[in-house]
Amino acid sequence: METEQLEFFKKRLRDLETELETGLKGAGGQSATVSLDESIGRLSRADALHSQQIGIALEANIKSRLANVRMALGAIDDGTYGVCRHCRKAIAEPRLKTMPETPSCVNCSGRR
């Protein structure tokens, strides 16, 4: 991949990393709202637990994307960015533009 393109994706990935980190703080805050404080009553506690579950799912999702973003940034430094981790073929550029953090090509991610 051209240096120019790599710089472009590097910037995209850095932005995405910042964005996800911010999102993670938000999600973390949400799951942290449920202390097992009995004083909030049964119903609101159920609500709180529900939003905690959403928060946890959201957090897990953000964390796995963040891990991919960091891997992709590492791959840029290694010179392996844009190569599918499974079949070692080049990942199509439109796919990288939509999901710069993707570790696999469309064929391999569809197969999983």
Q: Which residues bind Zn ion (CB under 5 A)?
A: 84, 86-87, 105, 108
Report residue 83: phi and psi, to 5°: -105, 130
**Beta carbon nearer to Zn ion, 42 or 112:** 112
Cβ at position 83, least distance to Zn ion in Å: 9
Q: Which is nearer to Zn ion, 62 or 105 (CB)?
A: 105
DSSP structural state of residue 80: -
Which C-beta is closer to Zn ion: that of 63 or that of 86? 86
Please report how close the Cβ of residue 8 comes to Zn ion at its closest, in angstroms. Answer: 22
Nearest approach in angstroms of CB 63 to Zn ion is: 23
What would the DSSP string read from start to end of 1-67? --HHHHHHHHHHHHHHHHHHHHHHHHHHHHHHT----GGG-HHHHHHHHHHHHHHHHHHHHHHHHHH
